[in-house]
Every structure is written in C-alpha cells, then in structure tokens.
Chain A
C-alpha cells in the first residue's frame, strides 16, 4: 500500500521535474535561435522560402475563414442589435471584435494547425532521418541553417496573416450587413471609424499577432527539434505542437488583453 503511494508520489515528482527541465531546455533553444539568426538575414532567400511555406500557403485558409467569421459576426450582431434599434452599430461590432480579438487569435490558431504542425513534422522527420546530424557532421549549424529561417519566416508571416484575416472579415461583415441586409453603408463605415481607434485597437491587435507568431513558431520548432526520432515520436510531437500552441495563444491572449484593454 505504502509502496503504491510512494510510487505515485515519485511519478508526480518526476513529471514536475521533467516539465521544468523541458521548459528550461525550450528557453535555451529559443535563446539559441535568437543568437544564431544572423544567417536568416544575411541570406534572405532562405527566410523568403520559409515565408512562402508558412505564410503564402496559409493564405487560402486565412482568407476563407476570415470571410466567414466576418459574415457570421454580422449576421449574429445584426440579429441582436436590431432589437435595440441600433443595427448600424453592426459595423462597430464586427470591426472591434475582429481587430481586437478574433483576427489575431483565430488567425494564430489556424496558423498553428496549418503551418506549425507542418514545421514540427518536417523538422522531426529531418531529425529521424538523421539529416540534422549529417549537417552537424559537415560543420553546418542546423539551428542557424534550418531552424532560424523557419522561425523568422513564421514570425514575419503571422502579423500579415492576422491583418489579412481582419480586413477580409470586415469585408465579409460589409457584404452581409450592407449588401444583403441593407444597413446604411455610410452609417456602417462612419460608426466603425469613430469607434475603432488606431493606437488602442489596431496597434494592440498587431502586437498580439506578433506575440502569437513568436509563440507558435517557437513551440512548433522546439517540438520538432525535440521529437523522438521515430514515426510515433514525430506524430506525438505534431499533436503536442497544435495542443500546446493553441493553449499558449489563448493564455497569452488573456494576459495581453488584461494589459491592453482595462477599460480606462
């Protein structure tokens, strides 16, 4: 009996120590990426190729989701706002929710599942097929040559994707509210413009998307780099990337929102 209790206690302790160890390892890895990212800027073609894989290939899912999220926001917002006789405020509702929250957060969640998982799988497989060790043998630094460009490609792509998501979403809201339902176009835009503030809303949303970009890309690369070199290991790492980065996005979003919008 006491043996069982002791064992379970040992298990908990081991899990905690492992978690802390992984956190430390991940932080060291992150610092290493930053320190060795000179190559990513000295050889732009490397980074540009990664912007293509992470950003351009995610464009379709971002544009389509943004359009539908904007349209749904307009439908739901109109439904509720017309009860209070202020259906023109639907533009404000769509724009504020997209720019402040949904744009950065949903774009980051999509980015994590579309680009982050691919990054993890790619690097995990490179490790499993010993391409990374081969690079080390040839005195090529894999962090500078493979990880760095992917990191910067992701960090550059993410804010652009979030901005595209928000802009397309506002257009979707316009389509539903003005074109389909017939809200006055002038009131739609002017109420939106008077409510959305450049510094408070748009810049803060942009900062959020940059933070999410750093978090998602760093998590994806770390999970790939740390994956056990087996088929099972790579699949587990890919799953962990999506789960961990989604949780990180939502947690960071709460923290950032608490700092940025305190109703002052």
Chain B
C-alpha cells in the first residue's frame, strides 16, 4: 500500500513538473528570452513615446533583437528616455536610427532599429545622440510600418 502511494505521488509530481515545463517552453517564450548577461543596454530619447511599454520588442528588419527595459522621463530636456536591452550577438553602428513603430492595425508598438553606416559600434550604456538621427529622414518605402515618432528631436 505504502509503495503504491509513493508511486502515485511520484507520478503526480512528475506530471506537475512536466506541466510547468510545457507551460514554460511550449506556451510561454522562456526559451526565446536571453539572459541579462548576454545583453547590452542602449538608451534613446523621444519627444513622445505614444503607447510604448516596458518589455515591448526591439526589432531590426523585423527580427526581435532585444526588449525595452525601462522608460523614464528625462527632466533636463523634458523628453522620454527609453532603455533597451539588446542581444550581444547583434551589434549596431553608432549612427543607428531608432524609432517607435506600430505593427498592424491594432498591433502593439515596438522599437525599430535601422543600422547606419558608422564603423564604430554602440556600447553598453550609450545614449543614441540626436545628431545621429538628423542624418536620416523619415521612412521611405510605403509598405513599411508607419513611424509614430521618430527618435531624436529635429524631424523632417
């Protein structure tokens, strides 16, 4: 009797743990999230972040390369400062332009990165400078997602 009970409890605990693993790997995206150590943080200033939220994806060419880590208000110049954790595997040039885009009609907002031509790469803790954005104008192609707010101050 004792043995059967232990056997059943063992089966039960295994089933519970399997369920947790299924939830974590199949239902959730635990496998896709990279650990904090493999990421570097880059900050960018925006006049208006619209509906951007912490943990929103950071995409470049449609591929998720990182996540929004923090959204703060910068009181010196009265702009929103968005911190992004970007996967170490993906290095971006210093003059990369950062913009907040909307996916689909009702879709969530995400941060889009467009690599520039600089040979120097962004480092951990960099703040994307305003001058870098001024080089690049608004979006060119019509089929691209509509930018809600171009990063940096001067637009157009």
Q: Which residues of A contact B (CB under 8 A)?
A: 45, 48-49, 51-52, 55-56, 59, 95, 99, 157, 159-161, 163-164, 166-168, 170, 189, 192-194, 196-198, 200-202, 206, 264
Asked if B54 and A202 sit within 8 Å, CB to CB, the answer is: no
Let me know if A196 and B54 touch, CB within 8 A: no
Asked if B63 is at the interface (CB within 8 A of a chain A CB), the reply is no
Contact B12 A159 (CB under 8 A): no
Residue numbers in B under 8 Å from A160 (CB-CB): 12-13, 15-17, 19
Q: How far, in whole Å, are A197 and B30 apart by their CA atoms in the complex?
A: 7
Contact yes or no, B30 A198, CB < 8 A: yes
**How far is the CB of B62 from the nearest CB of chain A, in Å?**
13
Whether B9 lies near A51 (C-beta < 8 A) is yes
Bound complex: CA of A73 vs CA of B92, how far in Å? 43
B20 within 8 A of A: yes
Q: For residue B78, which residues in chain A have a CB less than 8 angstroms away from its CB?
A: none
Residue B32 CB within 8 A of the other chain: yes
Question: Is B120 located at the chain interface by the 8 A CB criterion?
Answer: no
A170 partner residues in chain B, CB cutoff 8 A? 22-23, 26-27
Cβ contact within 8 Å between A56 and B28: no
Minimal beta-carbon separation of B24 from chain A (angstroms) = 6
Among the interface residues A163, A200, A206, which one has the most CB atoms of the partner chain B within 10 A?
A163
Minimum distance in angstroms from A116 CB to a CB of chain B: 18
Q: Could you say which of A45, A48, A192, A264 has the most chain B C-beta atoms within 10 Å of its C-beta?
A: A48
Given the contacts A48-B9, A52-B5, A201 and B16 also touching, CB distance less than 8 Å: no
Contacts of A56 in B (CB 8 A): 8-9, 11-12
Q: Are A201 and B28 in contact (CB under 8 A)?
A: yes
Q: In the complex, which of the residues B5, B12, B22, B54 has the most CB atoms of chain A within 10 Å of its own CB atom?
A: B12
Complex Cα distance, B29 from A223, in Å, reads 41
Nearest B residue to A263 via CB reads: B53
Q: How far is the CB of B16 from chain A (nearest CB, A)?
A: 3
Contact B12 A99 (CB under 8 A): no
B6 at the interface (CB under 8 A from A): yes
A206 vs B23: C-alpha distance in the bound complex, in angstroms? Answer: 11
Please state if A198 and B29 are interface contacts (CB–CB under 8 Å).
yes
B16 and A159: CB pair below 8 A?
Answer: yes
B33 / chain A contacts, CB cutoff of 8 Å: 198
Does B2 make an interface contact (CB < 8 A)?
yes
What 8 A-B pairs come out closest when comparing CB atoms?
A160-B16, A198-B30, A167-B19, A163-B19, A198-B28, A196-B28, A164-B19, A56-B12
